[in-house]
Amino acid sequence: SLTILGVYETNISEIPSDIFNLTSLTYLNLGGNQITGSIPPEIGNLTNLERLYLNYNQLSGEIPPEIGNLANLDNLNLSRNQLTGSIPTAIDNLTNLERLYLFDNQLSGAIPPEIGNFANLYSLRLFENQLTGDIPSEIGNLTNLVSLNLWSNQLTGSIPPEIGNLTNLTYLDLGWNQFTSSIPPEIGNLTNLTELWLSGNQLTG
């Protein structure tokens, strides 16, 4: 049975419905096409998927909660689409994730605290959305993170001191949000940082 399917940079305009019958798939790459419409809830049928790439399309609508059925995922890339709505809390089932890329969409609402369940996460990119609210303190659970990019959202509140737990970070970009208060001293724990971006906020002190 088919386990790998890649259709990249062609002219397909929709996700073929037959794909959702390929329940043995572990790798699905439909990135760089001209796919429109929403992500069908049937995506949740592909419970053996380990990597899902739907990036660089024209997908709209919300991320379906059925994405939470894909408990084996280690890479999820939905970036550079036109997705709206909030990040579904059902993603808390994706505890094997190593890379989560949702950047350059129109996602709104808060970063769900369930994101702290991703103990294996290596790279988190949520930049260029319309996310609001605080960075949840649970971000401090992601001790394997090497790259964290939340640039260009509408995040508010203080930078949580728990960010100092992320001692493996080499790249941290919190620029162009609406963060206030002072830079927490715990940021000094991030001794592996090579790039730190905090510009375009309302930081004081």
Does pLDDT of 1 surpass 70?
Answer: no
Does pLDDT of 68 surpass 90?
Answer: yes
pLDDT of residue 185: 97
Question: Measured at the alpha carbon of residue 24, what is the angle toward residues 22 and 28, in degrees to the nearest 5?
Answer: 70
Any idea which residue has 């709209």 for tokens? Answer: 60
Average pLDDT taken over every residue of the chain? 95
- Helical ranges in 44-122 per DSSP H: none
Tokens found for residue 117:
């369940």
CB within 8 A of 123, min separation 6: which ones?
98, 99, 100, 101, 145, 146, 147, 148
CA-CA distance, 143 to 116, in Å (whole number)?
10
pLDDT of residue 7: 80
Nearest CA to 59 among 78, 85, 46?
Answer: 78
pLDDT of residue 16: 87
Region 79-91 average pLDDT:
96
Give 174-199 pLDDT, tens digit per residue.
999 999 999 999 999 999 999 999 99
Strand partners, 83: 61
How many CA within 13 A on the CB side of residue 172?
A: 21
Nearest CA to 5 among 37, 52, 42, 69?
Answer: 52
CB-based contact 73:94 (threshold 8 Å): yes
Give 110-166 pLDDT, tens digit per residue.
999 999 999 999 999 999 999 999 999 999 999 999 999 999 999 999 999 999 999
Does pLDDT of 76 surpass 90?
Answer: yes
Give 38-51 pLDDT, tens digit per residue.
999 999 999 999 99
User: Dihedral of CA 67/70/72/75: which sign?
Assistant: negative
Q: Which of 20-24, 52-56, 105-109 has the lowest mean pLDDT?
A: 20-24
